[in-house]
Amino acid sequence: MMTDLRVSNSVQPTRLLFTPLFVLIATAMLGAGCSERTADMTITSLDNPSRDRARLPHLKTTETGVLLSWVEPMPGQGKNGYQLRFASYLAGQWSAPNTISNGNDWFINWADFPSVYESRSGNLVAHWLQRSSGGTYSYDVRTVQSADGTHWSAPYTPHLDGTKTEHGFASIFSVGTTPAIVWLDGRRTQSADIHADQHHASPVENGNTDSAMTLRMRVLDESSASRPSILLDDRVCDCCQTAAVNASGGPVIFYRNRTIKEIRDISYVHFSNEKWSQPAVVHHDGWEISGCPVNGPQADAMNGLIAVAWFTAAGGRPAVKLAFTRHIEDGFDAPLMVSEAAPLGRLDIIRLSMHTALVAWLEDDSDGMATIRAALYGPAGQVGTTSIVARIRGERASGFLQLARVGPDSAMLAYTDVENGGISTAMLSATGLN
């Protein structure tokens, strides 16, 4: 029986490498109101409008700025009351935060978090997770849309199977100008499979009776509301985040796959000529693991160049890797090694310039703490040196890092700061990019 590792730390790194240079840099941690220069990156703390006890930040770049969303307790509703809020960062200023939705029956989890996305039509789309029964991992994806960020549609569930199973780890993207959503779907993980939402023109083999998690998507418009969801892959890892990018040739979905032999490497599907491709592997790491590592890929695209970063521990060696492609049909270039010292993963990546991507990840300090590190990469390798952004607790409550592009040489970083009891944000500015 497969082990679910969400209730404990994922893979425990076995090595920790510090050189005197890293020790020196690590003494210059990010502090309130300070600015620290490390080689070709300037790191500056940034206030944000979230309240104390806020967590689960999510960042998304828009046409005009950045969206920051988060979850915080709902006043007067006890320990189970939560609300999803967001604010926009435009021209160096935060908007007043708005509340999207709230509830007493939400599924709140360090690894499976809500999001807000601006579609190509300009509408905002948000999602959160709502419990469907008393089961630990029995919950549904709920989505809403808004034209102004204040008035939101009635919640909609993109999966129609009705099973009391896990549906989550969703990513919102666009197909043309229409918003769409992809998620991990657990309908087959219960003994009595419900077939009300099967898509019989799937690019993968039909008739699979395996009880594995599946990957599904749906376009979020009225015409598709009553149609079956689209099955993209019929056997995937159970609780790793998905990632979706709108590349020049169409959307690309990244996720952690799962073979019969329990190899869990990063795969992708892409949409072209009005159909989804067969699943393909970014790189054959060969990570054999019997439980979900709770560490999904992240990706970004700009001007035809797609970048994807991921964590692996193939062969018992934790590593963060990065790969590029200009032609998704031809697969990805050989991966670049970002870290093989003691990475925890929980990473994010954004394209920062025409030829550069910014990667941020957590590195284990072996004392219950972890450092947030950031580095610039191009297809030929690392650009400059690795920067130390902050030191935080390494526990799962610290969640996953979030990055968003602010300008041609700057990015925003957001993370849950357990020690300070809220969400911290910082600006990372690079020099010498082209």
Distance of alpha carbon 65 from alpha carbon 42, whole angstroms: 20
419, 404 contact by CB (below 8 A): no
DSSP strand E in 49-114: where?
55-61, 66-73, 82-90, 93-94, 98-103
Tell me if residue 244 falls in helix, strand or coil.
strand
* Residue 121: closest CA among 62, 182, 60, 183: 62
What's the pLDDT at 16?
Answer: 25
132 CB-near residues (< 8 Å, 6+ apart): 138, 139, 140, 164
Note the pLDDT tens digit of each residue in 257-312: 999 999 999 999 999 999 999 999 999 999 999 999 999 999 999 999 999 999 99
Helices and strands, counts by H and E, the chain: 1, 32
Count of CA atoms in the C-beta half-sphere (13 A) of 344: 24
Residue 406's alpha-carbon distances to 12, 60, 92, 191, 252, in angstroms, are 34, 10, 9, 47, 22
Name all domains of the chain by residue range, CATH numbers in brackets. 8-430 (2.130.10.10)
Beta strand pairing status for 3-4 and 291-292? parallel
pLDDT digits (tens, 9 = 90+) for 101-140: 999 999 999 999 999 999 998 999 999 999 999 999 999 9
pTM greater than the 0.95 cutoff: no
374, 112, 114, 221: CA torsion to nearest 10: 110
Which two structure tokens, joined as six digits, stand for 125? 């789309």
401, HSE (Cβ side, Cα atoms, 13 Å)? 34
pLDDT of residue 198: 40
Q: How far apart are CA 258 and CA 242, in angstroms?
A: 14
What per-residue confidence (pLDDT) applies to 191?
Answer: 54
Reading the block at residue 201, the tokens are 């023109």
Which portions of the chain are predicted below pLDDT 50?
Answer: 1-39, 192-207, 209
Judged by DSSP in three states, 15 sits in coil
Q: Are 360 and 344 in contact (CB under 8 A)?
A: no
pLDDT at 226: 75
Say how far apart CA 403 and CA 425 lie, in whole Å: 10
Q: What is the pLDDT of residue 434?
A: 62
Per-residue model confidence (pLDDT) at position 210:
76
